[in-house]
Amino acid sequence: MTVQICAYDPEWPSEFGVLADRLRHIVGEAATRIDHIGSTSVPGLDAKDVIDVQVSVANQHALEQAAGELESHGWVPPSEAFRDHGVPGLPTDPLEWEKRFFSQPPGVRRVNLHVRVEGRPNQRYPLLFRDYLRTHAPSAEAYATLKRHLAQLLPDDSERYADVKDPACDLIYFAAEQWAKESSWTAGTSNA
């Protein structure tokens, strides 16, 4: 898949809102939160034109239940098991990084849908990462610069693009964790 970074689109939050309403209808009470995550959730940040959404669920059973509902409504899982990359210094148990990942059904704008168990490190990571970038414009701009350069170097290799970007995201995350401690950060209320 081609990697193309575009200028921030002020329509992304409202597009997320439409998706979140649809997802809330599908997964119902199984979802404890539905959040706009990723670069499209940070005002002013250049990004791929793909809305990242995180559906948080209470436990492993709810993870499987939500995944089944999404699949029955046309959301497309990858052909193999999917988990987030491990982060140095965080738990190494593969269960802590497990998620269900889906692409959009036909007729829906491009979406990366991540279903994760609330309280696990991989569920906290994107929320803290997003909030840190929303409040630290220089870090967001440096991240945008990195993504633009990587897209130029790896325009036709989205897997390698992600693999190279992950350690840089971890560096931002470590700074975000320090900020979270100093500011008593919490994830706040769900976006939907």
For residue 147, the one-letter residue type is K
Residue at 191 is within a domain: no
Q: How far apart are CA 37 and CA 178, in angstroms?
A: 20
Domain membership flag for residue 75: yes
Give the model's pLDDT for residue 183.
Answer: 97
| Pairing mode, strands 100-103 and 111-117 | antiparallel
Per-residue pLDDT of the chain (192 residues; tens, 9 = 90+): 689 999 999 999 999 999 999 999 999 999 999 999 999 999 999 999 999 999 999 999 999 999 999 999 999 998 777 889 999 999 999 999 999 999 999 999 999 999 999 999 999 999 999 999 999 999 999 999 999 999 999 999 988 999 999 999 999 999 999 999 999 999 999 987
Residue 188 lies in a domain: no
Using CA atoms, how far apart are residues 35 and 53, in angstroms rounded to an integer? 6
For residue 6, tell me if it sits in a domain.
no
pTM score > 0.85 for this model?
Answer: yes
In this structure, is residue 115 part of a structural domain? yes
For residue 58, give Cα distances in angstroms to 33, 35, 45, 73, 91.
Answer: 9, 15, 31, 21, 19
Residue 21, domain CATH: 3.30.460.10
Q: Cβ of 124: how many Cβ atoms within 10 Å? A: 18
Q: Is residue 48 part of a domain?
A: yes
User: Residue 136: what are its φ and ψ, rounded to 5°?
Assistant: -130, 80
- For residue 1, being part of any structural domain is answered with no
What is the residue range of 145's domain? 12-183
Q: How many domains does the chain have?
A: 1
Q: Does residue 76 lie in a domain region?
A: yes
